[in-house]
Structure 1
Amino acid sequence: MGAQWMLAPFLALLLVAANADVAAQEKVIQVTAERFKFTPGVIELKVGVPVVLELTSLDRKHGFQVPDLKIDETVEPGRVTHVRIVPDKAGTYDFHCTVFCGSGHEEMAGQIIVSP
C-alpha cells in the first residue's frame, strides 16, 4: 500500500511534464480578420503537428468556419479566440467568414493546406 502512495505523486508529475511538453510543441499561427479578408489567406499545416490558431478581428465581428475540420468560431474585435487543432489528414480545407460584414463579405475566405 505504501508504494502506491509514493507512485501516485510521481505519476502526476509525469503527466504535468508531458502536458507542458505538448504545449511547448504547439505551433501558434495568428490569423486576423479585417475588411473582407483573412491574413494569412493560406495557412499551411502538417499532419500530426499541434497548432493553435489565434483569431482576432481588427474592425468588426466576423466568423471563422472550416466545415471539413468542424471549426465554427465568432471573432470579435479586442478579443483573441484560440482554436487548437491537430490535423489528422492531408488535404485542402476551405474557410470563410460566417458573419455578414458588408459588401465584399462573400470574398472573405481562405484555405488551410495540410501536408503529410
Structure 2
Amino acid sequence: HVSKAALYADRRQGLGPLTVVSTGTWVVVLNPDCPLEALDHERDMLVNVDVDGGPVPTIRFMGGREFAVISGGWQGAIPLGSIQQALDAGLMALPSFAPGGPISDRSGEIIGGTPS
C-alpha cells in the first residue's frame, strides 16, 4: 500500500516521530510510535507491518464514503477562496458520517461558524 511506502520514505529522512495519513477510498493512519496495547480491534484499529516487517499501529476507515456524504456527491472543483473561507470560519467535520472506523459510535456533524 502507498501508506507503507510513504512511512518508509519519511523514516529515511530521520525527522523524528511521525504519523502518516494516506487518503482515498480508505483513509489509513500509520503511527509507529503508538503503543500496540492502545489499539482496539472493535474500532478498526490493527497492527500493520512496515517494509522491514516491523509492527506499525494503524487505524483505517472508509474515507471515500465520509467524503461523499459530507460533499453531498459534489463533483466539481472547489475554489481555493471557498476553502479559505471555511477555514477562517472554523468549520470542522467531526466523524462519523459512514459506518465503521475508529469513531463509529458517534454521528457525524459539521460545526463552526458560517463562512462569509
Fold match, TM over 0.5? Answer: no
**Shorter-chain TM-score tier:** under 0.3
Task: Point out the structure with the larger helix share.
Answer: 2
Task: Point out the structure with the larger strand share.
Answer: 1
Larger Rg: 1
